[in-house]
Amino acid sequence: MRRLRHHPAVRKLVASTSLSPADCVLPLFVCEGEGVTSPIASMPGQAQLSIDRLITEAEQAQELGLGGLILFGIPSTKDALGSDSTCEDGIIQRAVRAVKNAVPELLVMTDVCFCEYTDHGHCGPLTEIDGRTEVNNDATLELLGRQAVTHAKSGADVIAPSGMMDGMVGAIRAALDGANFSHLPILSYAAKYASAFYGPFRDAAESAPQFGDRRGYQMDFAANPDQALREVAFDLDEGADMIMVKPAMAYLDILAKVRAAFPGVPLAAYHVSGEYSMIKAAAASDWIDERSIALESLTAIRRAGADFILTYWAKDVARWLSA
């Protein structure tokens, strides 16, 4: 076996997993104001950005050849229904218009969900079921359709629902088709687990649930792994064009299972905030080498079956690989 490893050029020749900037989608957080770059303490190197600063990032993303951006809006006011998210002049709608206007060729995805916009921090309007407060599934579907259409009207290229409501892909597909956006693809966060790895993101997006948790809608990490396949099958049936598994590193088995069960379906993985911040923290203590660990992790996610990866290292990947 070592004959395949002796010469660096032979190693390169026989490698079968690649990683390139075009495989990476950069998540960014957009907030109100001007000239705002507000660092996120639990995510070193990441910040909430006002729209003008977001445009600078978008220009860099385009220059570096990234696969695209996924945008998350942080509104200045929140309410029980997350009204800012369905309004044509909301923070995310203005951000998308500005980015598409400044860098039209850059792919812009939008996260379609309510947790950043509701005052209770859950992913849709609430209701009581058997004495328990839950997100109202079907009331959320209607609002998701409206939210997705405002994103589409703003110029979003890919609609990415992340709320784990049953029927969300079908509802969004119907709403988009009804508004003359039948050409717009949906990237569904199909197998999204209720994960503590999202902790730093919730600081970044100010979206932590104000009570309880998300285990009534996001997947149970101890559930039978085939449940992920059922989630994916439902979403594809409802019209999803691309599928996501999230988080990534602790869920490579799920990623590989989905890859094997649905060959040819474009598959994404989200290397989430907690996965990023753990590596950042260890690297800041000089316990590990950030660049090596990040590239090894992202390559492993590709090897497990991801066609593309949502990663906070997207710009670094481009710089590291060209250095």
240 to 259, contacts with ligand PBG by CB under 6 A?
A: none
In the complex, minimum distance from the CB of residue 164 to ligand PBG, in angstroms, rounded to a whole number: 8
Question: Which residue number, 63 or 119, has a Cβ lying nearer to ligand PBG?
Answer: 119
In the complex, minimum distance from the CB of residue 323 to ligand PBG, in angstroms, rounded to a whole number: 26
In the complex, minimum distance from the CB of residue 278 to ligand PBG, in angstroms, rounded to a whole number: 12
In the complex, minimum distance from the CB of residue 52 to ligand PBG, in angstroms, rounded to a whole number: 24
Question: Which residue number, 181 or 201, has a Cβ lying nearer to ligand PBG?
Answer: 201
144 to 173, contacts with ligand PBG by CB under 6 A?
A: 162
Question: How many of the chain's residues bind ligand PBG (CB under 6 A)?
Answer: 10
Q: Cα–Cα distances in Å, from 227 out to 1, 19, 109, 192, 200?
A: 38, 29, 26, 11, 26
181 to 200, contacts with ligand PBG by CB under 6 A?
A: 198
User: Site for ligand PBG (CB under 6 A): which residue of 29, 117, 193, 201?
Assistant: 201
DSSP labels, 273-296 = HHHHHHHHHHHHTTSS-HHHHHHH
Q: What interhelical angle do 137-154 and 91-102 show, nearest 10?
A: 30
Residue 189 to residue 296: CA distance in whole angstroms = 24
Residues forming a β-bridge with 72? 29
User: Site for ligand PBG (CB under 6 A): which residue of 19, 92, 272, 306?
Assistant: 272
Binding mask 24-53 for ligand PBG (x = CB under 6 A): ------------------------------
Residue 196 to residue 131: CA distance in whole angstroms = 26
Letter string b/e over residues 99-131, b meaning 16 or more CB atoms within 10 A of that residue's CB: bbebbeebbbbbbbbbbbbbebbbbbbbeeeee
- Whether 257 is catalytic is no
273 sits near ligand PBG (criterion: CB under 6 A): yes
Place of tokens 């994103």: 151
In the complex, minimum distance from the CB of residue 309 to ligand PBG, in angstroms, rounded to a whole number: 12
- Residue of minimal CB distance from ligand PBG? 201
Query: What residues have CB less than 8 Å from 99, skipping those under 6 apart?
Result: 54, 55, 58, 69, 71, 106, 108
78, 192, 257, 315: which is the annotated catalytic residue? 192
- Whether 246 is catalytic is yes
Residue 251 to residue 247: CA distance in whole angstroms = 6
Dihedral, CA atoms, 28, 31, 35, 41, nearest 10 degrees? -70
12, 78, 100, 246: which is the annotated catalytic residue? 246
User: Site for ligand PBG (CB under 6 A): which residue of 111, 231, 235, 290?
Assistant: 111
Point out the residues that are catalytic. Answer: 192, 246
* Positions in the binding site for ligand PBG (CB under 6 A): 111, 113, 115, 162, 198, 201-202, 214, 272-273
